[in-house]
């Protein structure tokens, strides 16, 4: 057993952190949030130049051919920086299933562009049953129905879609969309597939395969979000004084911060356990559910505490903490919150011998 | 012990219900559904005032009905029943008004109480500062006496509704050589005085409910002082007690209503045992609040001052409001992620109730130290002249 990162993995994390820390000043985040599509294109291009967008794409298509662990390291940094880039959408929901299930032609069509930052992909991956249906039309496939709450559609060229009991690839230009705004001020789209043609990517097992990785990606981001919120809180309560002493010298504050640390560690290690099993090709259903349970429930708890320990400044948008709170809630609710994970885990527990 | 209305209380309730059932629908048909703008809230307030319900808890001589605490609670319940508990000038009615009535001069009462009642004055509270939140008594805004006036300099923060306010209640330091609680004076400030600059701050929910307020050489007439110069803290204590109680008793305005929560649960998950448990849990919290309110009222009625009860009430309502909001968001499923009114909006405010009006920890300290008699927290600045404390240095 060895739970340490390899030198290469350490380097990935260091590189990502350096890029995010260098670019995403508080002012820059504000500036991007005020734009129409809330996307930091320059940052995306820089990630491409550092070959981080190709982290889990094979060398054949210009990537660096790493796996899910390295991708999770990148996503953790995305969360840590609350970075306004569609990394989860493009790299997890889009590029992973394309790499795994796509034909050589499909891969050639999209993956080099993803690696170079020129093509963005996204995915319509529902928590449970899909409300999109697929039917055959001669040799082709046609999709009908609505997918709700799909992220990054306004930036993407193609969507990986769960329809009926299989995974498809659809050109964004062929669908119509209605935009919604979520509590984190980001856009989500209701995508309507009115008889659009689609390419088959994989059968039912591909959905489970993708859902596992989707959940994992969310857990990695949430770990970064919670970890950074905790660091901000530790710094803030160490420097702010009330009653003639630092807030952090009050036991009520210390105990709560320490509990947050325990929560973040639980999030981190349930996530790595699941990521490692997935990357080794082991059965990981249970581990992924456990990780997403912690990411959801402990994520909410840590952000609540972080906000609380900041007092009034936590509520004020000129201080960065609120972004972490808003992200954490979105990540918590995506692909099912804590209760949904427990229910599924309960099913696993109750039905195994 | 009797939890039911007495004959007199039943009469007050019937009268209130009849009046509301006649008046609220009329106003509502013109103004539609919440959220209401300040002007809409003002117009409802004026309708209330026309029916002598502007501030029924105030003495008759100041335009109230002289309602005692129990009658006031009945009135609040009846308003909540029909959804007419629309918050307007909360600092005025809940904090500044009661403080002026308790400690103000006759001239101050004549000047402001009627105007507040008529909906002509909105008030804000200028207490917190960047360096003085939980430790309010360490505030640094200075007031210098200059003949019949005071000259005030400093910065306030998180002042709710300051951008709309006509007047503010201000706490400032007039003598830094006294220990921190003793060097404070309490003033009424006209927000339109030269030198008062209000800069709205945007909050996590995207709105700007509170502001920074910069005070530069603001001249405040001595006639606007409430209490003696050294009495500032004592007067502020009255305000803070009323603040806690008005946050605590305003369930309707601050928490996602239980009936709506139950509606969502019924429509989506009526048979889910986990959801039913969580819903029932929130319901028990709501009932506890009811009892807490009753305890406070009965104490007030006996002429006693509720101290710990106000703190318990505020903690309870903050917890209820968080739990109701988080459950509501959860029950909405993926829709809970969407920006909008409803529980999502309450999620964005969930923390504020734990912070504003004295944080959870400060309320717990009150309970531990003042009620249970635990040793007081070590205070390095205790008894020191403010000017020699770390905060001042
Ligand atoms: C929505 C909202 C509206 C407000 N409206 C007004 C207004 O109209 N007028 C006004 O004057 N103010 C207003 N306030 C300010 C409010 O009163 C202060 O935010 C509050 O008193 C806390 O002060 P602070 O923000 O400086 O936090 P701090 O005092 O810095 O506290 C930060 C954290 O440290 C903890 N802490 C502090 N002291 C202790 C201790 N001794 N033991 C354990 N933990 C401790 C706190 O509980 C908190 O979690 C408002 C605040 C909010 C959020």
The pLDDT of residue B250 is 59
Q: Are A95 and A121 in contact (CB under 8 A)?
A: yes
* Contacts A337 to B, Cβ<8 Å: 330
Within-domain flag for A270:
yes
Interface test with B, best of A242, A257, A335 (most B CBs within 10 A): A242
Interface check A145 vs B, CB under 8 A: no
Question: What homologous superfamily is domain B255-358 in, according to CATH?
Answer: Butyryl-CoA Dehydrogenase, subunit A, domain 3 (1.20.140.10)
Ligand 1-lining residues (CB < 6 angstroms): A 240, 242-243, 247, 250, 252-253, 308-309, 311-312, 315; B 124-125, 127-128, 133-134, 158-160, 210, 352, 355-356, 358-359, 361-362, 377
Ligand 1 centroid, distance to A312 Cα (angstroms): 6
Pocket test residue of A233, A235, A240, A242 for ligand 1, highest count of atoms within 8 A of CB: A242
Q: How far is A307 from chain B (nearest CA, A)?
A: 7
Within-domain flag for A343:
yes
> Is there a contact between A308 and B344 if contact means CB atoms under 8 Å apart?
no
The tens digit of pLDDT for each residue in A161-181 reads 999 999 999 999 999 999 999
Which sign does the torsion angle of CA B339, B341, B342, B348 carry?
positive
Interface contacts A/B by beta carbons within 8 Å: 107
DSSP H or E run through B6: none
pLDDT per residue rounded down to tens, chain B (393 residues): 677 888 999 999 999 999 999 999 999 999 988 878 899 999 999 999 999 999 998 889 888 898 887 788 889 889 988 888 888 999 999 899 999 999 999 999 999 999 999 999 999 999 999 999 999 999 999 999 999 999 999 999 999 999 999 999 999 999 999 999 999 999 999 999 999 999 999 988 888 889 999 999 999 999 999 999 999 999 999 999 888 777 766 555 678 888 889 999 998 877 788 899 999 999 999 888 888 887 877 777 777 777 788 888 889 999 999 999 999 999 988 888 888 888 998 888 888 889 988 999 999 999 999 889 999 988 888 889 999 987 776
Q: Are B36 and B86 in contact (CB under 8 A)?
A: yes
Question: Which residues span the domain enclosing A79?
Answer: 7-119
Both A237 and A325 in a single domain? yes
* Contacts A316 to B, Cβ<8 Å: 201-204
Q: How far is A243 from chain B (nearest CA, A)?
A: 6
Q: How far is B173 from chain A (nearest CA, A)?
A: 16
Touching B: A residues 224-263, CB under 8 Å: 241-245, 250, 252-253
Q: If you take atom 38 of ligand 1, which residue's CA is the nearest one?
A: B134
Interface check A130 vs B, CB under 8 A: no
Mean pLDDT of A248-267: 97
**Catalytic residue among B77, B243, B309, B350, which?**
B243
Interface test with B, best of A188, A240, A253, A312 (most B CBs within 10 A): A312
Q: Could you say which of A62, A94, A119 is where a domain stops?
A: A119
CATH number for the domain harbouring residue A317: 1.20.140.10
Touching A: B residues 329-368, CB under 8 Å: 329-330, 333-334, 336-339, 344, 347-348, 350-352, 354-356, 359-361, 364
Please provide the CATH number assigned to the domain covering B123-229: 2.40.110.10
Stated pTM of the model:
0.94
Ligand 1 centroid, distance to B362 Cα (angstroms): 9
Both A271 and A287 in a single domain? yes
Mean pLDDT over all residues of chain A? 96
Residue A24 is encoded by which pair of tokens? 């995403």
Within-domain flag for A150:
yes
User: B31: closest CA among B90, B89, B92, B86?
Assistant: B86
Give residues with Cβ within 8 angstroms of B82, minimum separation 6: B20, B21, B24
| Residue in A300, A322, A334 closest to B204 by CB | A322
Q: If you take atom 26 of ligand 1, which residue's CA is the nearest one?
A: B133
Could you give the percent of chain A with pLDDT greater than 70?
Answer: 100
Both A240 and A140 in a single domain? no
> Is there a contact between A243 and B135 if contact means CB atoms under 8 Å apart?
yes
- In which region does residue A311 sit, left (phi positive, over 0), alpha (psi from -120 to 50) or beta (all else)? left
Both A189 and A107 in a single domain? no
Ligand 1 centroid, distance to A43 Cα (angstroms): 36
* Contacts B206 to A, Cβ<8 Å: 185
Mean pLDDT of A78-91: 98
> Is there a contact between A244 and B206 if contact means CB atoms under 8 Å apart?
no
Ligand 1 centroid, distance to B128 Cα (angstroms): 8
The pLDDT of residue A236 is 98
Q: Are A32 and A38 in contact (CB under 8 A)?
A: yes
Radius of gyration for the alpha carbons in chain B, expressed in angstroms and rounded: 22
The pLDDT of residue B359 is 95
Both A181 and A228 in a single domain? no
Domains B123-229 and B255-358 share a fold: no
- Report helix, strand and coil shares of chain A as percent, to nearest 5: 60, 15, 25
The number of the ligand 1 atom at minimal distance from the alpha carbon of B127 is: 11
Q: Structural domain tally of chain A? A: 3
Residue B283 is encoded by which pair of tokens? 């319901």
Radius of gyration for the alpha carbons in chain A, expressed in angstroms and rounded: 20
Question: B381 forms bridges with which residues in the sheet?
Answer: none
Q: How far is B126 from chain A (nearest CA, A)?
A: 14
A142 has pLDDT over 70: yes
CATH number for the domain harbouring residue A174: 2.40.110.10
The pLDDT of residue B248 is 66
Residue B318 is encoded by which pair of tokens? 């903050």
Pocket test residue of B93, B136, B355 for ligand 1, highest count of atoms within 8 A of CB: B355
Both A115 and A149 in a single domain? no
Within-domain flag for A1:
no
* Contacts A326 to B, Cβ<8 Å: 204
The pLDDT of residue B271 is 79
A243 has pLDDT over 60: yes
Q: Could you say which of A119, A149, A173 is where a domain stops?
A: A119
CA distance A346 to A292: 14
User: A267: closest CA among A332, A337, A220?
Assistant: A220
Is B32 strand, coil or helix?
coil
| Residue in B133, B350, B364 closest to A311 by CB | B133
- Does the annotation count B121 as an active-site position? no
Residues, chain A: 353
Q: Which residue of B has its CA nearest to A329?
A: B337
Largest alpha-carbon pair distance within chain B?
72
The number of the ligand 1 atom at minimal distance from the alpha carbon of B349 is: 1
Compute CA distances B127 → B122, B212, B358, whole Å.
16, 11, 12
> Is there a contact between A148 and B354 if contact means CB atoms under 8 Å apart?
no
CA distance B359 to A310: 11
Interface check B287 vs A, CB under 8 A: no
Both A220 and A312 in a single domain? yes
Could you give the percent of chain A with pLDDT greater than 90?
Answer: 94
Give residues with Cβ within 8 angstroms of A154, minimum separation 6: A37, A177, A179, A187, A189
Residue spans per domain, chain B? 7-88, 123-229, 255-358
Ligand 1 centroid, distance to B325 Cα (angstroms): 21
């Amino acid at each position: 057993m060895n739970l340490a990162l390899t030198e290469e993995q350490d380097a990935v994390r260091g590189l990502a952190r350096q890029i995010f820390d260098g670019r995403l000043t508080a002012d820059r985040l504000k500036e991007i949030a005020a734009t129409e599509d809330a996307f930091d294109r320059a940052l995306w291009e820089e990630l491409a130049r550092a070959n981080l967008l190709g982290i889990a794409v094979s060398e054949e298509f210009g990537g660096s051919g790493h796996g899910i662990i390295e991708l999770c390291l990148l996503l953790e940094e995305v969360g840590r920086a609350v970075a306004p880039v569609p990394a989860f959408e493009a790299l997890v929901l889009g590029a992973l299933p394309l790499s795994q299930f796509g034909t050589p032609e499909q891969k050639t069509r999209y993956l080099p562009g993803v690696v170079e930052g020129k093509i963005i992909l996204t995915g319509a991956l529902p928590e449970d049953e899909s409300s999109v249906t697929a039917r055959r039309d001669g040799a082709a496939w046609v999709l009908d129905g609505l997918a709700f709450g799909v992220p990054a559609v306004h930036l993407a060229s193609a969507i990986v879609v769960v329809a009926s009991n299989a995974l498809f690839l659809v050109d964004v230009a062929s669908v119509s969309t209605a935009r919604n705004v979520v509590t984190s001020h980001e856009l989500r789209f209701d995508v309507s597939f009115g008889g659009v043609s689609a390419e088959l990517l994989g059968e039912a097992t591909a959905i489970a395969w993708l859902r596992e990785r989707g959940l994992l990606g969310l857990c990695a981001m949430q770990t970064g979000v919670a970890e950074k919120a905790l660091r901000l809180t530790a710094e803030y309560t160490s420097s702010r004084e009330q009653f003639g002493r630092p807030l952090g010298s009050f036991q009520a504050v210390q105990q709560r911060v320490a509990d947050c640390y325990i929560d973040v560690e639980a999030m981190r290690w349930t996530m790595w356990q699941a990521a490692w099993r997935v990357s080794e090709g082991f059965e990981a259903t249970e581990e992924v559910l456990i990780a997403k349970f912690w990411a959801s429930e402990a994520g909410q708890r840590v952000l609540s505490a972080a906000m609380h320990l900041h007092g009034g400044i936590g509520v004020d948008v000129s201080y960065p903490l609120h972004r972490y709170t808003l992200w954490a809630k979105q990540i918590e609710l995506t692909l099912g919150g804590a209760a949904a994970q427990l229910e599924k885990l309960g099913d696993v527990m109750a039905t195994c011998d | 012990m009797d939890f039911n209305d007495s004959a007199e209380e039943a009469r007050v309730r019937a009268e209130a219900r009849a009046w509301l059932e006649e008046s609220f629908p009329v106003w509502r048909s013109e103004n539609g559904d919440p959220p209401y703008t300040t002007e809409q809230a003002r117009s409802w307030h004026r309708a209330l005032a026309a029916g002598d319900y502007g501030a029924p808890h105030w003495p008759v001589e100041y335009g109230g009905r002289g309602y005692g605490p129990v009658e006031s609670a009945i009135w609040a319940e009846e308003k909540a029943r029909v959804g007419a508990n629309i918050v307007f000038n909360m600092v005025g009615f809940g904090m500044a008004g009661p403080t002026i009535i308790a400690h103000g001069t006759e001239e101050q009462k004549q000047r402001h109480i009627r105007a507040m009642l008529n909906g002509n004055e909105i008030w804000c509270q200028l207490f917190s500062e960047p360096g003085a939140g939980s430790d309010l008594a360490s505030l640094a805004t200075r007031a210098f006496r200059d003949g019949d006036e005071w000259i005030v300099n400093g910065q306030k923060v998180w002042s709710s509704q300051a951008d709309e306010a006509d007047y503010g209640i201000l706490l400032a330091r007039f003598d830094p050589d006294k220990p921190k609680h003793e060097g404070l004076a309490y003033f009424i400030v006209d927000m339109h005085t030269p030198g008062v600059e209000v800069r709205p701050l945007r909050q996590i929910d995207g709105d700007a409910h509170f502001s920074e307020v910069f005070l530069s050489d603001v001249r405040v007439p001595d006639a606007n002082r409430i209490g003696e110069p050294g009495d500032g803290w004592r007067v502020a204590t009255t305000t803070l007690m009323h603040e806690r109680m008005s946050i605590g008793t305003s369930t309707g305005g601050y928490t996602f209503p239980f009936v709506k929560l139950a509606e969502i649960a019924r429509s989506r998950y009526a048979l889910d045992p986990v959801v039913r448990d969580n819903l029932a849990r929130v319901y028990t919290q709501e009932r506890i609040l009811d009892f807490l309110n009753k305890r406070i009222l009965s104490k007030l009625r006996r002429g006693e001052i509720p101290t710990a009860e106000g703190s318990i009430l505020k903690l309870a309502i903050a917890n209820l409001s968080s739990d109701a909001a988080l459950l509501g968001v959860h029950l909405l499923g993926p829709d809970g992620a969407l920006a909008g009114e409803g529980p999502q909006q309450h999620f964005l405010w969930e923390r504020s109730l734990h912070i504003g009006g004295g944080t959870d920890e400060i309320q717990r300290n009150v309970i531990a130290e003042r009620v249970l008699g635990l040793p007081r927290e070590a205070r390095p600045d205790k008894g020191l002249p403010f000017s020699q404390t770390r905060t001042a240095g």
